[in-house]
Amino acid sequence: MDRNAYPPQEPFNENMAKYHDVLIERAKGLQPVEVNYGDDPYQSLGIFPAANPDGRVLLYFHGGGWTNGYKEWMYFMAPALNALGITFVSGGYRLAPTHVFPTGFQDCARAVEWLRQNVDQWGGDPDKLFVSGHSAGGHYAALLAVTDEALPGVPCSSALRGVAPVSGTYYFGEDSGLAVRPRFLGPAELGAEQEASPIRHVRAGLPPFLVTWAEDEFPHLKRQAHEMIQALQDAQVDVSTLELPGCNHFTASFAAGDVGGLWPSTLDGWSAAVIENSMQ
C-alpha cells in the first residue's frame, strides 16, 4: 500500500510498526474494489466480493487506538470470509487527533449507509449487513449497534442485522481501566465519554451481538467485555460470546482472518442463525 496516498497520521511506535508490516504482508496480492464514501482518502472502502455470495455482508473497521490504521490492514481477512459466501468490506475512517469524536464514528455510519445503497451490485443483501472491527474498530462497531442515528437521516442500529466486535472498548471514564484518556474524545471539557461509550446506550431491541476477546487480552478490555455482555443480557438483547484461545490483543486480529479458523467459523454459524431467526 502507499501510505503517502493518505493524510499523515500519528507516527507508529515499535509495536504498531511491526503490526502494520505483518498485516500488509498477509494481504499481499489481494485486490479489492476500492470506493470512496466521502472526500477524504480515509473515507474509503475495500470491497471483496465472494465468488458464490449468499447475501451476507461483513463491514469491518480496523484498530489503531483511534489515531492510527488503514483499511488495508484488514484486507488479509477477505479469503476466509469470501470462502463462506460473505461479501467482505474493510472500512476506513478519519483519525484523531486531527479529527475528534464524533467525526470518525460518523464516518463509520456513512460507510454503513453507503453499503446499504450500493452493496447489491457485488452480491450483497443490504438486509444482511453485519458490522465488526478490532480494538478501536470494535468500539465503533458496537457504538453503531446502540445508536439510532449518527447523523440526521443516517440510521445505525436499525440498519444492521448484527454486530461482532473483537477486543473492543465499551466505555470510557475514570473506571474504564484505560491508562490514558484517548485523544479521539477531544478536550475533556466536551465530556464525550458518555456519548462515546456503547455500554451507556444499551437497551432492549438492539441487533444481536457476538462479543469476542482474546484469552490473553488486556485485563481492562476483558473486564469491559464481560460487563458489556451482562448489560446486553440484562436488556434481553441476543448476545453470543467467544474467547480466542492462545491469542493476545494483537493476535486476536490475525485470528479473525484465519481460513477455517475459530472466529470466521463462529461468525459464519452465528450470522446464519441470526438471519434465520429474523425470518421466523
pLDDT digits 0-9 by tens, 136-165? 999 999 999 999 999 998 999 999 999 999
Those residues with Cβ within 8 angstroms of residue 246's Cβ, 6 or more apart along the chain or in another chain: 215, 216
User: What does pLDDT average to over the chain?
Assistant: 96
How would you classify the pairing of strands 44-48 and 87-91? antiparallel
- Start-end of H helices in 64-185: 78-82, 103-118, 136-146
pLDDT at 279: 83
- For 114-130, what is each residue's pLDDT tens digit? 999 999 999 999 999 99
The single-letter code of the amino acid at 137 is G
Rg from Cα positions in the chain = 17
Those residues with Cβ within 8 angstroms of residue 145's Cβ, 6 or more apart along the chain or in another chain: 131, 156, 157, 160, 163, 198, 206, 207, 209
pTM, whole model, 2 decimals?
Answer: 0.97
CA distance 42 to 75: 15
Higher pLDDT, 109 or 4: 109
Q: 2: pLDDT confidence band, cut at 50, 70 and 90?
A: confident
CB 70 within 8 A of CB 95: no
Q: 280: pLDDT confidence band, cut at 50, 70 and 90?
A: confident
Domains of the chain: 33-278 (3.40.50.1820)
